[in-house]
Structure 1
Amino acid sequence: MIFSKPSFNMYIITGGPGSGKSTLINALTERGIQCMPEAGRAIIQDQQAIGGPALPWVDPGSFAELMLSWDIRSYREGLKLQGPVIFDRGIPDVMGYLRLNSLPVPPHIEKATQVFRYHPQIFIAPPWQEIFAQDNERKQSFEEAIATYHAMVKVYSGLNYEICYLPLSSVEERVEFIMQRIISSS
């Protein structure tokens, strides 16, 4: 595989649902870090609002295509920003989602993971039973959250990203953990 040059100011936070990613990203935003929102949750909200079929439990293939489009747009927006930019999931998550659902990964999605590269080190939030909760958009069980986590580890490792595991600790400690790493690489 030939990879494009990574964008060293663009960092991904990924992991299974309910592992504290969104709370962490909100806290990073409060600290002045620019962040790009997660595609999946917004797509689910939009599709529910319009009665659309591109939902993970209705048409997972269409849902994946919308996530890819959203993530490429976010990537392009991130390129315009100065300083570190945090992404709530990234383009490789689409590949992980498809594999997790035993769906084929189309060549254009595979290519997107090669063309649109992020910082070589990504952050992953491990499954955390104590904070896991379901809601209107997060319908997965904790077991599915664990499977998602493992799928993301496999995808990002396979794409030659270095995985940095987030500690199971307070939001502030997680913020400091990330801040130390993104400031030191700037």
Structure 2
Amino acid sequence: MRQDHRHCFILTGGPGAGKTTLLAHLAGQGIAMMPEAGRGIIRSQMAIGGRALPWKDRALFAELMLGWELRSLSESATRPGPILFDRGVPDVAGYLTLEGLEVPAHIRQAAKIHRYNSLVFLAPPWEEIFHTDPERRQDFETARRTCETMRRVYTELGYNLVELPCASVPERADFVRANIGA
């Protein structure tokens, strides 16, 4: 049972490439968005002393991300589009791949049956804006590898990737709006 969410558009790529900033700008312009699972999970796990963190239990972290992404898709089913997602179900498979962990069959299956719009925005590594913080501990080389892993995963799943320009937030927003018809 393949589920199609053509009004849902993903922004993916490596950490620190400006995805969340761009999405916040677009949300300010009235475009609906769904937040990134990873940051939300890290915040809540740190607040409660949980172990579902990428530096403690990567497999458990991935499972919580999958649940978050499936819930976000379910929420979006009845909402009018377009809706922009800060990552999606395929990113969970990409994360596990990047970490050298096996991608369980249920996660591969979820990425195959829960489909977003075929157009996916890829934020390339951009050293000038990259920075770390308590939730984003990866270095720039990991950001590069993450981006390339997401490129491979989404391509293998049949998505058409379009790279975001390394430009100002308003210019990037105009680019996204033009490509989603908003």
Indicate the TM-score class for this superposition, using the shorter chain for normalisation.
over 0.9
Deviation at residue 115 of structure 1 after TM alignment: 1.2
Deviation at residue 136 of structure 1 after TM alignment: 0.7
- Match 1:99 to one of 94, 97, 100: 97
RMSD: 1.0
Q: How many residues align?
A: 182
- TM-score, with length taken from structure 1: 0.96
Aligned to 2:179: 181
Deviation at residue 7 of structure 1 after TM alignment: 1.5
Q: Give, in whole Å, the separation in 2 of the partners of 1:147 and 1:63.
A: 19
- Match 1:33 to one of 31, 34, 40: 31
Q: 1:112-139, CA deviations, whole angstroms, 9 ceiling, x for partnerless residues?
A: 0011100001001000000000001000
Conserved 8 A contact 1:17-1:148: yes
User: The residue matched to 1:6 in structure 2 has which SS?
Assistant: strand
- TM-score, with length taken from structure 2: 0.98
User: The residue matched to 2:125 in structure 1 has which SS?
Assistant: coil
Aligned to 2:80: 82
User: The residue matched to 2:11 in structure 1 has which SS?
Assistant: strand
Q: Give, in whole Å, the separation in 1 of the partners of 2:148 and 2:81.
A: 30
Q: Which segments of 5 or more consecutive residues in structure 1 lack a partner in the other structure?
A: none
Deviation at residue 5 of structure 1 after TM alignment: 5.1
1:1-186 correspondence to structure 2 within 5 Å: 4=2, 6-183=4-181
Conserved 8 A contact 1:6-1:120: no
Q: Give, in whole Å, the separation in 2 of the partners of 1:91 and 1:138.
A: 20
User: Structure 1: which amino acid aligns with 2:121?
Assistant: F
Deviation at residue 6 of structure 1 after TM alignment: 2.8
Q: Give the ranges of 4+ consecutive aligned residues of structure 1 lying more than 2 Å apart after TM superposition.
A: 3-6
What is the identity percentage for the equivalent residue pairs of Structure 1 and Structure 2?
Answer: 50
